């Protein structure tokens, strides 16, 4: 019976033909021309905002590059990844949407797929490293205190090597890059899992090492941070001003990191769900008009990060300026009280004389 089941499984895998081999032209758009034009305008706006926002973050960080903390160095690396997606990847898809077909052939498809996966993986692993940095700095001060700038640069080298390895693995014959079902974009060939056991192993490896494991580390780190902050808020209030200011800065960086990770995962999880369904479910059951929405949502992730960073930074600056004003007003009131007390004492002495 088990032999018959395995034969049936193998035969079903051999019978499966991916969508890009079912038609003579896999790069023709399966959407209406109006839908392609709307998607093209959407990506154009996303690309411009992402390029300007991430470029601004990189430019402002370069002006104080010697003063950047390790977490801020990671934030700059995240901006570099997002800028890479916007500059290297989005022009291909924008031109294709407006042209109502993929315009760059199989070579361009594989390059686009590699670039998107490379920078996307780099972004997620960077956020994983940031979450671990926040976890050590807040939950394990004895370990977090030795994390310096040169450790951050070593971590960056590991991140880029990790992303390069997993993005290049498909070119070694293990996997591949292929056009999306709607025809005007390219991605990892998730449909290989329908064709062979080797394809399933490739897709499972990608899912675990480039999505599930990093996401689990991020969730674990921030859950532990939230629990630690709740228990230590009262303790920090008894410390001196210097320690309190350092704690406020660490919490600001943690809020930035948490919101960036949340925005990234919210943007990419729908795409991951559709991809997993295409790999292990019934790929033909996903309507083509529906499959384009998670793709467009994922492409917008590069726009959120600089907005989140600037909003938190502005709030932090306002709070800091408010605190300085409060301190200055407190000093003025103290000075006024002291001077008034001295004046009244002088008047009493004059009256006595």
Q: Which of 98-107, 216-225, 256-265 shows the lowest per-residue confidence on average (mean pLDDT)?
A: 256-265
Would you say residue 223 has pLDDT above 80?
A: yes
Q: For residue 196, name the pLDDT band (cuts at 50, 70, 90).
A: confident
pLDDT digits (tens, 9 = 90+) for 269-326: 999 999 898 888 887 777 888 889 999 999 888 887 777 766 655 554 444 444 444 3
**Most confident of the following: 205-219, 222-236, 296-310, 324-338:** 205-219
Sequence-distant contacts of 33-38: CB under 8 A, at least 24 apart: 33/100, 35/289, 35/292, 36/97, 36/98, 36/100, 36/184, 37/97, 37/98
Would you say residue 340 has pLDDT above 80?
A: no
Give pLDDT, residue 31: 92
pLDDT digits (tens, 9 = 90+) for 75-115: 899 999 999 999 988 999 999 999 999 999 999 999 999 99
Give pLDDT, residue 104: 95
Give pLDDT, residue 144: 64
Give pLDDT, residue 194: 85
Q: How many CB atoms lie within 10 A of CB 342?
A: 10
Average pLDDT over residues 240-251: 61
> What pTM was computed for the model?
0.80
Give pLDDT, residue 341: 40
Q: Which two tokens stand for residue 278?
A: 């295409």
Would you say residue 61 has pLDDT above 70?
A: yes
In this structure, the dihedral spanned by the alpha carbons of residues 326, 331, 334 and 336, taken in order and rounded to 10 degrees, is: -100
Average pLDDT over residues 48-64: 90
Q: What is the helix (H) or strand (E) element at residue 53, kind and residue range?
A: helix 33-62
Backbone torsions φ then ψ of 28, nearest 5 degrees: -75, 140
Q: Which of 105-114, 121-130, 203-212, 317-326 shows the lowest per-residue confidence on average (mean pLDDT)?
A: 317-326
Q: For residue 128, name the pLDDT band (cuts at 50, 70, 90).
A: very high
Helix ranges restricted to H, 140-287:
141-144, 149-168, 197-207, 213-236, 241-280
Give pLDDT, residue 174: 82
- Structural domains in the chain, CATH included, are 33-315 (1.20.1070.10)
Q: Which two tokens stand for residue 130?
A: 């940031």
Share of the chain above pLDDT 70, in %: 75
Would you say residue 345 has pLDDT above 80?
A: no
Average pLDDT over residues 146-174: 90
């Amino acid at each position: 019976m088990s032999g018959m089941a395995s034969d049936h499984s193998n035969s079903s895998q051999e019978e499966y033909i991916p969508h890009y081999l079912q038609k003579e032209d896999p790069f023709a758009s399966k959407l209406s021309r109006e839908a392609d034009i709307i998607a093209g305008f959407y990506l154009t706006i996303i690309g411009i905002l992402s390029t300007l926002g991430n470029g601004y973050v990189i430019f402002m960080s370069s002006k104080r590059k010697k003063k950047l903390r390790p977490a801020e160095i990671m934030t700059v690396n995240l901006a570099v990844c997002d800028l890479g997606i916007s500059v290297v990847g989005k022009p291909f898809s924008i031109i294709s949407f407006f042209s109502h077909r993929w315009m760059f052939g199989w070579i361009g498809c594989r390059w686009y797929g590699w670039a998107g996966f490379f920078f996307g993986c780099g972004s997620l692993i960077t956020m994983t490293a940031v979450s671990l940095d926040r976890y050590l700095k807040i939950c394990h001060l004895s370990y977090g205190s030795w994390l310096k700038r040169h450790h951050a640069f070593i971590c960056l080298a590991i991140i880029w090597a990790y992303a390069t390895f997993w993005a290049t693995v498909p070119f070694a014959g293990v996997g591949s890059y292929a056009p999306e079902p709607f025809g005007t974009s390219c991605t990892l060939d998730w449909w290989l899992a329908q064709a062979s056991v080797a394809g399933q192993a490739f897709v499972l490896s990608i899912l675990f090492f480039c999505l599930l494991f990093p996401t689990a580390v991020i969730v674990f780190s921030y859950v532990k941070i939230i629990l630690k902050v709740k228990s230590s808020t009262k303790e920090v209030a008894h410390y001196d001003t210097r320690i309190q200011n350092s704690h406020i800065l660490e919490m600001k960086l943690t809020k930035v990191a948490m919101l960036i990770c949340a925005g990234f995962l919210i943007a990419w999880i729908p795409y991951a769900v559709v991809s997993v369904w295409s790999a292990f479910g019934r790929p033909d059951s996903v309507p083509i008009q529906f499959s384009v929405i998670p793709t467009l949502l994922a492409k917008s992730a590069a726009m959120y990060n600089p907005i989140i960073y600037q909003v938190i930074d502005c709030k932090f600056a306002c709070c800091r300026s408010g605190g300085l004003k409060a301190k200055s007003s407190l000093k003025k009131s103290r000075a006024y009280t002291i001077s008034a007390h001295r004046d009244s004492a002088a008047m009493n002495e004059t009256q006595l004389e």
